[in-house]
Structure 1
Amino acid sequence: MDSPSAVDFEVVILGAGMSGLCMAIQLQKAGIRDFVVLEKSAGIGGTWWDNRYPGAQVDVPAPAYSFSFAPNPHWTHRFADAQEIHAYQQRLAEDHGLLPRIRLGHAVVEAQFDAAAGRWRLSLDDGSALSARFFVCSTGPLSRPRWPDIAGLADFRGRLLHSARWPADVDLAGRRVGVIGTGSTAAQLVPALAAARARLSVFQRTPNWVLPRMDRRYGRLDRWLVRRPAYAALARHAWVQVLELGRRGFDEGTLARGLMTRTAVAHLRRQVADPTLRARLTPSYPLGCKRIIYSNDYYPALALPQSELVTAPIQAVTATGVRTADGREHALEALVCATGFDTVRPLAGLRVMGLGGQTLDEAWRGGPSAYLGLTVPGFPNLFLMLGPNTGTGHTSTLLFIEPQVGHALACMQRVQREGRRWIAVRAGVFAAQDAAVQQRLAGSVWSHCRSWYRDENGRIFAIWPGFTGEYVRAVRRPDETAYELG
C-alpha cells in the first residue's frame, strides 16, 4: 500500500538534463501527459547546470548538439558555450510547456519495484512519496563530481573548488591557483584562468592528445539559414557525418587515424616552442584511448610565464598548497579539482530495488552494464538514459539520446497496449549483448590505457564500441522477443 501522501504518475523522470527533457517532450507527443520530472538541482540543465566553470564549452559542433526536432537558430559559435546550451535547454522546456511538470530541488533516495502492482514506489529526500508505472533515470554518467583521492585534501585552508560545482562568486584573478587534472575540462578552464591573470600550477598525471578546435563565429546569414528546416537538417546531418569520420581514427591502421595523429603532433609542435615542455605534453598511449581534447588555447596557456606544468606526482595536499614527490611545496591560494565525475557509480545515493529485492548495486557488482545501455534484467519498467556502454569519444550524446527515448517509449506503449503490468529484458538476451560489446572492446584502443571509460578492474563500461549508426539501428525498434512481460 502507498502511504497516504503518495502521488501516482504514469511516468517519473529523474533528471532535467538533455535526456530528461527529450523524454518529457516525446511523452507529450505520444499523448502521455501523466508524468513528472524530478530534478535535484535548483534549475534545469543537468550537466550544463553543474558545469559553469569559466570557459565551459561543448566539444562537438553545435548543430549536432541540438535535437533533430528542435534546431537552434541562436548559436553564436560553432562550438557553443555552457551559457548558450543552458539557454537552449530552457527554451526547450518553455516551448514545450514542461516547466509546470518539473519539480526542482527534489531528489529520489529510494526506488522499489512492486511486482504485484507493476509500479515503482519512490521515496524523496523531503519525506514525500511518489508512485509510477515507469521510472526513467536520465541522470546520465556525468552527474556526481569525483574528488581526487589525495591525502590531506580536506586540510587545505585556501579556496577548494570542483569544476562541476563552480560558485558564481569566485574571483581568482591574480591568485596563485593549482589545477589538478588535464582532461577536457581543464583544457577549457586553464586558458580562462590564465586570461584572468591567475598564476597557475597545473598538475598533470598523464598528457592528452589535443587537436585544433575548428571554431568560428556565426553571422546573420548562418542564423537566417538555420531557421530554414531543410538547411538546419542538412547542416546537422553533415556535421554528424564529419564526426563519424573521426570515429575511424580510433581504429588501428586507418587513414583517419594517421591523419588525426599527425595533426595532433603538428598542433603541439606549432603551439609549444620549448622542446622540454613539448616532450612533457606528448602522450605515450595511442590517440583515442582517453577522450581527445579540442583546443586552440590550452597549449599557449601552459606556455605563459605565469603558468607551470607540474608532472611530478602529487604526494599530498597541505594546508597551504600541494607537495609533490620531488619534495617541492607548491604554495597555493586556491585549488581546483578538474577531476570529472563518478562514472562508475552515477546513481550512488539512490537505492534502486528490483524483483526479489535485488538492488542495482548488487546487479552491478561486476561493473555497470545494461541491455543496449537501457534496461537491466530484474528491474522491470526501469529505463536508463545514456546508461552503460552508450558513451562515445567522437560525437554528440544527443544522437544516442533520441533513439534511446524512442526505444523506451515503445516499450511503455507495448505494456499499455497489451494491458500488462511490466516489461523487462530477458537475462539471456542481456548477457549475450553485453558479452558481444565487451568482446568488441577487448583489444580496442580504449583498452590500452587508464581512463574514466574503465572501472578499477579494467572493464570498459562507458564506451559504445562501434559507430553511431550501429547503435541507432540496434535501438530504433525494440525486439519484442528480447523482452518478457508480466
Structure 2
Amino acid sequence: MPEVQVPLPDPLAPGQAVARHEVVILGAGMSGLCMAIQLKRAGIDDFVIIEKQPGLGGTWWDNRYPGAHVDVPAPLYSFSFAPNPRWTRRFASAPEIQAYMQALARSHGLERHLRLGTRLSEARYDEATGHWDFRTDGGDALRARFFVCSTGPLNQPRWPDIAGLDSFAGQRLHSARWDASVPLQGQRVAVIGTGSTAAQLVGPIAQQAGQLQVFQRTANWVLPRMDRPYGVLDGLLARFPPYAAAVRWLWMQVLEWGRRGFDEGTVARRGMLRTAAAHLRRQVKDPVLRERLTPPYPLGCKRIIYSNDFYPAFNQPHVQLVTQAITRVTPQGLVTADGCEHPVDVLVCATGFDTVQLLQSVPVVGRGGRTLQQAWADGPEAFHGLTVAGFPNLFLMLGPNTATGHTSTLLFIEPGVQHAIACMQAVRQGGHRSVEVRADVQRAHNERLQSRLAGSVWSLCRSWYRADNGRIVALFPGFTREYVRAVRKPDLADYRLG
C-alpha cells in the first residue's frame, strides 16, 4: 500500500510528516470490510483501515462470550458478492463469522491496508483543502480526502448504572469484553440483563456454574430459533450459485414477511404472538416462573430474542430468575430492593451497548469547528444514516436509523457502501473538493422518519432504539427493499458539491 510520508503544514501538528491517502476507514468490522472491497472494485486502492483492536472483526471481535451467534439465518449474513458455502449451521457462531471475515480480507487483499491496534484521537475537516486530518493515540498523523466511519452502533459497551459497581471484589465481566481465562466452573455467577446477549450466554454459563442468578428488569419476547446443522448435501448445494441465490432470496422474503409482525392487526403479528405464547408455555411448566418471564410491553417494541435454550435454563434447580431491582453492588455481591444480598463470585454484565451516544470516543470536527457530538446534542441523525450536514466527505456506515429489528444488517450495508462510493466518484470525477448533504434535505428526511416512527410499536416502550428525549434514533421504520431503493443510487441534487 503506498503511504508517502511528506512534510505537511498541519493544524494538528505543524511540520509533522503526514501519511496521505484517498480514504481513511475507521473500523474493520463487516461494514468496513465491505467498503474496502468495493473501493478496490471501483479502482480506489489508496485507503487505510484503522482498527483499535488487535484483529479484524468489529463487533465479532468484541463479542466472544459463550454461545455468541448471529440471530439471522447465515445465508443472509454473508455479502451478496461473497456467499459463504462453509457455514456449519443455519445460525452461525461468532468464531465462524470471524473466520468468514478473515477469509474476505485475505481473498480481497485487504491485510496490507489494515492498521490494527490503532486508535484515532481526533478527526478534523480542513475547509481550506477539503481534506480530513487525523491523529492517532500513537502520535501519527494522516490526511485523506474521504473519511468513512464504519464503527457502527455496537462498539461502546454500556455498563449498568448501579451504585457500588466498582467496589465488587470478585471477577467482573462485560459480555462485549469477555475474558475466557475467568473460571466459571462451580462458581456463583450473576448475570445482569435478559436481552439478546444474555439469552445466548445464560444457557452455556448454566452448564458450568455451580449457581446462576439472572437479574431481570423486564421480560422480553422470545421466539423459537429455527436452527439446524448443515450437512454434506447442504455444503455441496451451497457451492452451486443458483441454489445459494435462491436460498438467500427465500430467507429475505421470510424475514420481510416477519417485518409485518411489527404492524398492529396483521396476520404476521397474530402468528408471532401465538408462536411466542406457545414457546413460553411449552418450555416453562411452572406457572409462576412463566408469569415472571411474560413481557409487559407490545411485541417488537424491543428487539425480539430467538432462542431455544434460554427458557429451559430456568428449569434447572441451580438457576434462579431474580426480578427484584438491584439497588447496589457490594464487594461480596448484589443487594436487591427487598433487602436481600446475593453473594456472587463472578458478575457478568450483559447490558449491551451505548447506541445513542455514537462516536463519543473520537472527536470528529466538521465545518466551522463544530463537533459531531455538538451536532448530535439532541440525538444522532443523518441522511439515510450515511451523511451529515456540516461534515463534508464524511460517510457513516450503519449510522442513525439504519438498524433493523427483523433482518440482516448486511442488507443495509451494501447499498450504503454503493451510495458512499457514488458520492466519492462524483467528487473525484467532477473536479470537486467535497460533497455534503444539504441541511434542509437532512432535516426533511428526519422529520419524515420520526413522523413514521412516532406511531409505531417502537414508540411504546423504553429500549436501546430510543434516545432519552424519546426520539427513535436507531431503527429504520420500513422494509429492506424500501431502504435499498432509496439509498443505492444517490440523487446528487440532495448534495452540495464544492
- Confirm or deny a common fold (TM above 0.5): yes
Report the equivalent of 2:343.
331
- In structure 2, the gaps of 5 or more residues are 1-8
**Residue 364 in 1 paired to residue 376 in 2?**
yes
2:147 counterpart of 1:123: no
Other structure's SS at 1:6 match: strand
Query: What is the deviation of 1:116?
Result: 1.4
Q: Does 1:314 align with 2:326?
A: yes
Aligned to 1:208: 220
Aligned residue in 2 for 1:21: 33
Q: Distance in 1 between matches of 2:414 and 2:124?
A: 27
Answer yes or no: is 1:61 the counterpart of 2:61: no
- Residue 451 of structure 1 aligns to a residue in which SS? coil
**Residue 267 of structure 2 corresponds to residue 258 of structure 1:** no
2:441 maps to amino acid:
V
Shift of 1:457: 1.0
The equivalent residue for 2:97 is 85
The separation in 1 between residues aligned to 2:130 and 2:148, in whole angstroms, is 15
Alignment match of 2:60 (pick from 48, 51, 70) = 48
Letter in 2 for 1:80: A
Equivalent in the alignment of 1:439: 451
Indicate conservation of the 8 Å contact 2:189/2:209, yes or no.
no
Deviations 1:12-52, CA, capped at 9 Å, x for gaps: 00000000000000000111000000000010000000000
Partner in structure 1 of residue 399 of structure 2: 387
1:305 aligns with 2:317: yes
CA offsets 1:399-425 (integer angstroms, 9 cap, x no match): 000000000000000000101000000
Alpha-carbon contact 1:367-1:455 (below 8 Å) kept: yes
- Give aligned-pair identity as a percent: 67
Offset at 1:5? 2.0
Q: Look up the match of 1:32.
A: 44
Q: Structure 1 stretches (4+) deviating beyond 6 angstroms? A: none
Output the aligned Cα RMSD. 0.7
What are the residue-to-residue correspondences of 1:95-110 with 2, within 5 Å?
Answer: 95-110=107-122
Mapped partners of 2:238, 2:368: distance in 1:
51
Alignment of 1:188-227 (within 5 A): 188-227=200-239
1:230 Cα offset (Å) = 1.3
The CA deviation at 1:197 is 3.8
> Which of 2, 16, 30 is the matching residue for 1:4?
16
Q: C-alpha displacement at 1:128, in angstroms?
A: 0.6
Equivalents in 2 of 1:401, 1:303: separation in Å?
A: 40
Structure 2 CA distance for partners of 1:302 and 1:102, relative to 1, 3 Å? same
User: Which residue does the alignment assign to 2:414?
Assistant: 402
Deviations 1:120-143 (CA, angstroms, capped at 9, x unpaired)? 000111011100000000000000
SS in 2 for 1:446: helix
Partner in structure 1 of residue 479 of structure 2: 467
- 8 A Cα contact 1:142 1:346, kept in partner: no
Secondary structure of residue in 2 paired with 1:408: helix
Match of 1:344 in 2: 356
Q: Please identify, of 196-205 and 16-25, the stretch whose mean Cα deviation from structure 2 is larger.
A: 196-205
Task: Read off the aligned partner of 1:100 and give its amino acid letter.
Answer: R
1:447–1:460 CA contact under 8 A, matched in 2: yes
Aligned-partner SS, 1:253: coil
Per-residue Cα deviation, 1:169-190 (whole angstroms, up to 9, x for no partner) = 1220110000000000000000
Partner of 2:167: 155
- Three-state SS of the structure 2 residue aligned to 1:249 is helix
**The residue matched to 1:54 in structure 2 has which SS?**
coil
Count, aligned residues: 486
What is the one-letter code of the residue matched to 1:245?
A: W
Equivalents in 1 of 2:479, 2:357: separation in Å?
25
d(CA) in 1 for partners of 2:17 and 2:242?
49
The answer to whether the 8 A contact 2:51-2:114 is kept is: yes
One-letter code aligned to 2:301: C
1:277 maps to amino acid: L
Q: What is the match of residue 147 of structure 2? A: 135
The equivalent residue for 1:288 is: 300
Distance 1:264 1:451 in 2: 20
SS of 2:455's equivalent in the other structure is coil
Offset of residue 327 of structure 1: 0.7
* TM-score after normalising by structure 1: 0.99
How big is each residue's C-alpha offset from its partner over 1:254-283, in whole Å with a ceiling of 9 and x where there is no partner? 000000011000100000000000000001
Gaps of 5+ in 1: none
Per the alignment, residue 386 of structure 2 pairs with 374
Q: CA deviation at 1:232?
A: 1.2
SS of the counterpart of 1:268? Answer: helix
Q: Which amino acid aligns with 2:346?
A: A
